[in-house]
Chains A and B, each alone.
Chain A
Amino acid sequence: MSEPILQVKDLRINFKTFAGVVQAVRGVNFELNAGETLAIVGESGSGKSVTSNALMKLIPEPPGIYESGEIIFNGRDLIPLSDKEMSKVRGNDISMIFQDPMTSLNPTMRVGRQITEVILKHKNISKSDAKKRAIKLLDQVGIPMPEKRYKQFPHEFSGGMRQRVVIAIALAAEPKLLIADEPTTALDVTIQAQILELMKEIQKTSNTSIIFITHDLGVVANVAHRVAVMYAGQIVEYGTVNEIFYNPKHPYTWGLLGSMPDIDSNSDELLRTIPGSPPDLTNPPKGDAFAARNEFALAIDYEKEPPMFQVSETHFAKTWLLHPDAPKIPIPEAVAKRIEGYLGKENVLNGEKTIRN
């Protein structure tokens, strides 16, 4: 296995507010290899965006505080770096695609200049070469007539085309790591499919690592190699995409998978829901943060925080249900049935007996 290009160790981020200190990220650990895509899923307020912004050191201080932890990128910890040093990393080594393509471009600046700006800052090349490269990038992200489009303003582009421009800017300095924070949430499904194909294509040709933040599990299944499920500022389950979708262990992951309607599901039945809402992180609950919404909660969940239990070499889950002494609770029937449905379809397609590990 290749060396990880990014390691995040025990990252904790707090925000000081009038209502008290919000513990937005509470001890997150993960790593990422070159050419790999990690999807971070979770509800709003689960800390997924704070985590990804922290990787670029985009958390404003104050009110944000890097309480503890390390972000080791290419062998160097980013947390102690000064703003000046960070500006050499941002856009060059790590770049970011934001959710809303409508607001992440400068409306008063031609699209071409927004791309060459990045190239000229980070690469030692002439203006005319930067222009050539910008036009090539526009072409690469699938924008027709790139020479003409180069001179246009963002308002002359549609939503999907703008997101392509944002991707071109993010790729301009050939970053090793691309962070995409809900890059397709604001787009239509057909455009979303095109953008996802484009990102996978780019990853194949340039071996870029991608961190993909989303709450759409369909998108996760489409792009990710590994998945981290976040809840209340912590990663509660972590594994390969097949492990998370076909062998989920955490009740929160069961809840997320169960609350998606299935194309074949019977619409007379109600959807499975996760009752209640996420906890207030100014005062995180004692024990397991998910306990109050967990129908399978054990007495210990209200007392003591569960550790990460290892399920396989690559699969971890933070729930007491995996403790050897815990009662054996099977996956809820509706979720199990759905997984079987997917795998069954697969078996028919492959003519295989079983692929479950």
Chain B
Amino acid sequence: MAKKLLEIKNLTQYFGSSKEPVKAVDGISFDIYEGETLGLVGESGCGKSTTGRSIIRLYDITDGQIIFNGKDVHSSKSANEMKQFNRQMQMIFQDPYASLNPRMKAGEIISEGFDIHGLYKNKKERREKVESLLEAVGLNREHANRYAHEFSGGQRQRIGIARALSLNPSFIIADEPISALDVSIQAQVVNLLKQLQKEFNLTYLFIAHDLSMVKYISDRIAVMYRGKIVEIGLADDIYHSPVHPYTKSLLSAIPLPDPLSESKRTRISYVHEDLDESASFYEVADKHFVYGTAASVKKWQNA
């Protein structure tokens, strides 16, 4: 079994007043193994982006523990330790229009990381690094001197990816990296992410609501609903033998590019049931866990 790169234990993230908090993430636990891609799916507002942002310490978590490479991410750290940690973990954002500074050239955006971390000896080395990163993501070295507005959406997302790669991270959180892109460009970016994963031995947390892309890129998938993970398992198991009624409902809503099967589609609607205190994870198949009470999981399995 591969080594655990990231362990998330009872991660809780509340916002707002302590009297009536918004429970964005409500006590979730999962592991991410080295070299794998974990897909995190769910509807808007389910807490999937908050989970990603909490992991990379963009928020101070309310409760729980995030252990990355054996170290607690949220423990107090000196500035130096923080830098070490930031090198290891990087993020790709959803909106390639809003996530690049319009007043910086692509080369400056990509090299900002090395400047902060002092990762080059001289200007020549710095330039070479920028060029090799641009080429790694399928752009030209000439692109380093252009501003963000001179690029198309897909190219901008490539710059965002080059920036995330610039510090040689081992773990990348991709928060809906393709949902703002056109279909033909989505495929290019997903292919690029796959190639880079092989080349640099990266681990991904891939957050998305486009379930067919998630199935394609992920080794395992976690389904989130109202701040909780309701089902987690191998991508094929989640798609072909879902157990939780929410997962079933989500899968039944994906439109397929197949008119004949679309004309016969029946959507399963999901009615949320409140679970009692005893709810926890049950292993229904190898590496396939469902959140519920013993009785409800049994009922769902037979449904």
Interface residues of A (CB under 8 A from B): 43-44, 159, 188-194, 196-197, 215-222, 224, 241-242, 245-246, 255-257, 259-263, 265, 267, 270-275, 277, 342-343, 345-346, 349, 355
Given contacts A271-B191, A273-B191, A342-B260, 9 further A-B contacts (CB under 8 A): A188-B44, A190-B253, A192-B255, A194-B267, A218-B255, A219-B255, A245-B259, A262-B212, A345-B261
Q: Which residues of A contact B215 (CB under 8 A)?
A: 261, 263, 267
Task: Summarize A's interface: helix, strand, loop or mixed.
Answer: helix
Shortest beta-carbon distance from A72 to chain B in Å: 28
B249, CB-defined interface residue at 8 Å = yes
Would you call B262 and A221 a contact (CB within 8 A)? yes
Would you call A192 and B256 a contact (CB within 8 A)? no
Q: Which residues of B contact A271 (CB under 8 A)?
A: 187, 190-191, 216
Residue of B whose beta carbon sits closest to that of A184:
B255
Task: Summarize B's interface: helix, strand, loop or mixed.
Answer: helix
Q: Tell whether A256 pairs with B256 under 8 Å between CB atoms, given A188-B44, A271-B190, A342-B261.
A: no
Q: What is the CA–CA distance of A256 and B259 in the complex, to the nearest angstrom?
A: 15
Q: Tell whether A218 pairs with B239 under 8 Å between CB atoms, given A43-B183, A189-B209, A260-B212.
A: no
Shortest beta-carbon distance from B34 to chain A in Å: 18
Most chain A CB within a 10 A radius of its CB, from B209, B216, B270: B216
Shortest beta-carbon distance from B288 to chain A in Å: 18
Task: Pick the contact of B183: A193, A260, A263 (CB < 8 A).
Answer: A260
Interface residue ranges of B160-219 to A (CB < 8 Å): 182-188, 190-191, 194-195, 209, 211-213, 215-218
Would you call B253 and A193 a contact (CB within 8 A)? yes
Q: What is the CA–CA distance of A43 and B184 in the complex, to the nearest angstrom?
A: 8
Would you call B184 and A189 a contact (CB within 8 A)? no
Q: What is the CA–CA distance of A196 and B254 in the complex, to the nearest angstrom?
A: 12
B149, CB-defined interface residue at 8 Å = no
Most chain B CB within a 10 A radius of its CB, from A215, A245, A261: A261
Would you call A215 and B183 a contact (CB within 8 A)? yes
Would you call B259 and A221 a contact (CB within 8 A)? yes
Q: Which residues of A contact B28 (CB under 8 A)?
A: none
Q: Which residues of A contact B190 (CB under 8 A)?
A: 261, 271
Q: Which residues of B contact A219 (CB under 8 A)?
A: 255
Q: Which residues of A contact B265 (CB under 8 A)?
A: 222
Shortest beta-carbon distance from B259 to chain A in Å: 4
Q: Tell whether A273 pairs with B187 under 8 Å between CB atoms, given A257-B257, A267-B217.
A: yes
Residue of B whose beta carbon sits closest to that of A259:
B187
Residue of A whose beta carbon sits closest to that of B217:
A267
Task: Pick the contact of A188: B43, B183, B252 (CB < 8 A).
Answer: B43
Q: Which residues of A contact B152 (CB under 8 A)?
A: 277
Shortest beta-carbon distance from A158 to chain B in Å: 9
Would you call B260 and A242 a contact (CB within 8 A)? yes
The 3 closest A-B pairs by CB, nearest first: A218-B255, A261-B216, A259-B187
Q: Tell whether A259 pairs with B212 under 8 Å between CB atoms, given A221-B262, A271-B190, A342-B260.
A: no
Shortest beta-carbon distance from B14 to chain A in Å: 21
